[in-house]
Amino acid sequence: MPLGFLKSAREPKRPAPDEQNPVAAQRPDRAIVLGEVEELGIGMFWATDAEGHLSFLSQRALVDLGTDSETMIGKPLTQLFHDVDDEDGGPSQRSLAFKLKARSKLDEQIVAVPNGRGATRWWRLNGRPLTDAAGTFKGYRGSAVDISAQYAYETQVARQSQVDELTGLTNRRKLNERLTATLAAFRASQRSCALMMLDLDRFKQVNDTMGHPAGDELLKQVAQRLSSIVKDYGEVGRLGGDEFQVLLPDMDDRGTLGELANRIVQSISQPYQINGRRAIIGTSIGIAIAPYDGVDTDELTRAADMALYSAKETRGGTFCFFTSELRDAASKTAMLGERLRDAVDRGELKLAYQPLVDPLTNEVKCFEALLRWHDEDEGDISPAQFIPVAENDDLIIRIGEMALKQACMDALSWPDTIRVAVNVSAKQFIRPGYRKAVAAALQASGLPPGRLELEITESVFVGDLETVDAIFRDLKKLGVRLSLDDFGTGYSSLGYLKHGHFNKIKIDQSFVRGCTENGDTNPAIITAIVALAKALGMETVAEGVEAMDELELVKARGADLVQGYIFSRPITQDQVLAQFAEGSNMFRPSGPPRHRAERITIFRKVGLIHEDHYYDVILRNLSKTGARITGLAGVPVGTDVVLDLGHGQLVVSKVVNATENSQGLKFETSMISDGSGGFMTRHRISPYSLAEAGIPLAALGAGAFPLAKWREANKTVPKFVQLELSAPGA
């Protein structure tokens, strides 16, 4: 209703009753009626001038806001009335400024109105633009109703449907909506978006040993740590249970994502104080990136889930990027588990022994027992493949007990001065009755307890540390030695060493590999670990030493023992006994003079681009800095090429050595770790670019690249000879 009669906040002038008209005399004054309506709380009234400044606000509204007309009148309406935030559960509506500028009518417009007491009221506005007889815009006239109580209740209900009640993070429903909306918008603008899926390692153990209230408190602290790391880079949410998700818009640099994932792993793995008790957990992370790994919510979520499964299967406490190979790996893992169980039943798993050698005298001081599996159909299957499968099942308990008993029996045939080290899984370690299993193995074999070393990774510290402490004390009472394996790579439990449980620290091979390269910081880390161990009265072992320069460095830095191919690969019990029968306990170092960048042996078909031609080649091995390929002849040294590793991974390379049918490539830019033992490019060619080159997104696969059309229309004569490629395994 137009409020043209409301000229100011003053009491309006009342017309004299028409004494000649009795009906008119009995009619109530409109201003009085409106005032009575306002006093009854049915409504409030407002008006603006043509410039959008408030020109009138009724007295009831001023009282409710705890202010006066001088404070309000004359100010822009948009400065006094604020739009509500739909992120907090408010309604989705056009902004007030937009409607005023368009001179649109206001219907049920919800606004926030700060009052003079530092609080906020919420009003529902209705209003209409007013024009005079000439059509000139005069401003707005409208009414308002205070809906603060109703609005607070409705937004609380809406917020509860979007927020995880325990942690305050975004919940699964809202995360899914946000991801769907983001991917839809980013497809149109050809932008990227990364998704991290997180699962806490050993959280169930904390719940079981410390109680569900402690588990809830732990989840709250995890949420705080995640939020403090991710900050404004993305959005953190809780999917439920011990699962979290991080949405990272406009991120596709896998180097940056890997660094962020590493920071998250390290932060989540630090100790927690819960009701006066100390607990440690870990986390595994799967990472997928749109549009490379999926272009809609279901695709990207499945990809991140598969990467998470791979990270947990690898060892936990790490991250993994999605690759197309993970789809095949998931089904292979299920089949491997069935075959592994059969192999255990048939006693096909055997032990091999790798020496730990004093680098000063070359004398063996200990042998580490390592599991080996030779399958009749598949041949030798790496422990890196079957141990994680066993870890996900109670099968690791059976395998661990078998290895312990056999190692004790074998060691009894060695000289009395030489110990045997047996790896212990975290699941095996915390299982009730583990001390009895160790005692039984010692008694059955007759091996003195002091000759048995139990190698334990930092993952055993995850969970309730009081329980872990009790197990350590029980084992020490038996007289066995304890060794901390892979030190520095897991949950960074430096402070735990002061409890004095351990006799030995094993420096992980990740600190040894490449330690002689210029600018590498690993020598300083090795020095620090050795100094720490010596201060605590512990031995140190440098793992994974393969080159003479690495041996000299770890020897100079004070490592007590060295383990690695530089002295010996794992050997059978028969070979161990044969060496002792010859009266020798010496292992002489033998290896390359210098460390070479780690290479992964691979046999798969990839592509090579030279000028305007695409060739099929076989990738034989791969490192961060180079690769070896076969399948071409006549490729001269110095040739510039591009190696196509599939899925947009193009690596600018130079041929640095060549034989008749193979070439060694050096990469212009080093590759980075994929978090699970492989290598990948930091950046990829976007599928949108591929699509622009004529390749539909649905058809993308290994070997796809922007210039695939070369295969259809070569512009020049090929410079190289394409050889027939051998099938894998040939």
**Residue 154 in contact with residue 178, Cβ under 8 Å?**
no
pLDDT by residue (tens digit) across 688-722?
A: 665 665 544 444 444 444 444 444 444 567 888 88
- Tens digit of each residue's pLDDT (9 = 90 or more) over 133-154: 888 999 999 999 888 888 877 7
Among the residue ranges 651-655, 683-687, 721-725, the one predicted with the least confidence is: 683-687
Chain centroid offset of residue 273 CA? 24
Q: What is the DSSP string of 459-475?
A: GGGSEEHHHHHHHHHHH
Q: Which residue has the higher pLDDT, 665 or 338?
A: 665
| Residues 24-66 pLDDT 10s | 445 556 667 666 766 665 678 999 999 999 999 888 888 878 8
Is-contact 670 255, C-beta < 8 A? no
Q: What is the mean pLDDT of residues 259-271?
A: 90
Residues constituting the chain: 730
Q: What is the mean pLDDT of the chain?
A: 83
Can you name the CATH fold of 599-722? Thrombin, subunit H (2.40.10)
Residue spans per domain, the chain: 22-156, 163-323, 348-581, 599-722
Is a pLDDT exceeding 80 seen at residue 519? no
Angle between helices 212-230 and 203-210 (to 10 degrees): 140
Element (H, E) at 141: strand 137-146
Assess if CATH 3.40.50.10800 describes domain 348-581.
no
Distance CA 480, CA 493 (A): 22
In terms of Cβ atoms closer than 10 Å to its own Cβ (0-12, 13-18, 19+), residue 555 is: middle
The mean per-residue pLDDT over the stretch 301-328 comes to 83
Q: Which of 164-173, 345-354, 677-686, 711-720 has the lowest mean pLDDT?
A: 711-720
Write out pLDDT tens, residues 433-455: 899 999 999 999 999 999 999 99
d(CA 201, CA 261): 15
Asked if pLDDT for residue 525 goes beyond 80, the answer is yes
Q: Which of 1.20.1740.10, 3.40.50.300, 3.30.450.20, 1.10.10.60 would CATH assign to domain 22-156?
A: 3.30.450.20
Residue 353, CA atoms < 13 Å, CB-side half-sphere: 26
What value does the mean pLDDT take over residues 646-675? Answer: 88
According to the model, what pLDDT value does residue 338 have? 82
Give the integer Cα–Cα distance in Å for 232 and 229.
Answer: 9
Which runs of consecutive H residues, i.e. helices, occur in 459-599? 465-478, 509-512, 522-535, 548-556, 573-581
Quote the percentage of the chain above a pLDDT of 70: 83
pLDDT at 336: 81
- CATH superfamily of the domain spanning 163-323: Reverse transcriptase/Diguanylate cyclase domain (3.30.70.270)
Q: Strands of 319-321's sheet, edge to edge?
A: 235-240, 243-249, 193-201, 282-290, 319-321
The two tokens of residue 121 are: 């009221």
Q: What share of the chain is helix, strand, coil (3-state, %, to 5)?
A: 35, 30, 35
- Quickly list DSSP for 369-425: EEEEEEETTTEEE-HHHHHHHHHTSTHHHHHHHHHHHHHHHHHTTS-TT-EEEEEE-
Do residues 131 and 116 touch, judged by C-beta distance below 8 A? Answer: no
**Closest Cα partner for 605 from 727, 730, 705?**
727
Q: How confident is the model at residue 686 (pLDDT cuts 50, 70, 90)?
A: confident
The stretch 120-129 carries a mean pLDDT of 91
pLDDT digits (tens, 9 = 90+) for 389-419: 888 777 899 999 999 999 999 999 999 999 9
Tell me, yes or no, if the pTM score tops 0.85. Answer: no
Q: Find out whether the peptide bond into 291 is cis, omega within 30 degrees of 0.
A: yes
Contact indicator for 340, 333 with CB cutoff of 8 Å: no
- Count CA atoms within 13 Å of residue 399 on its CB side: 30
| pLDDT (tens digit per residue) in 183-206 | 988 888 888 999 999 999 888 888
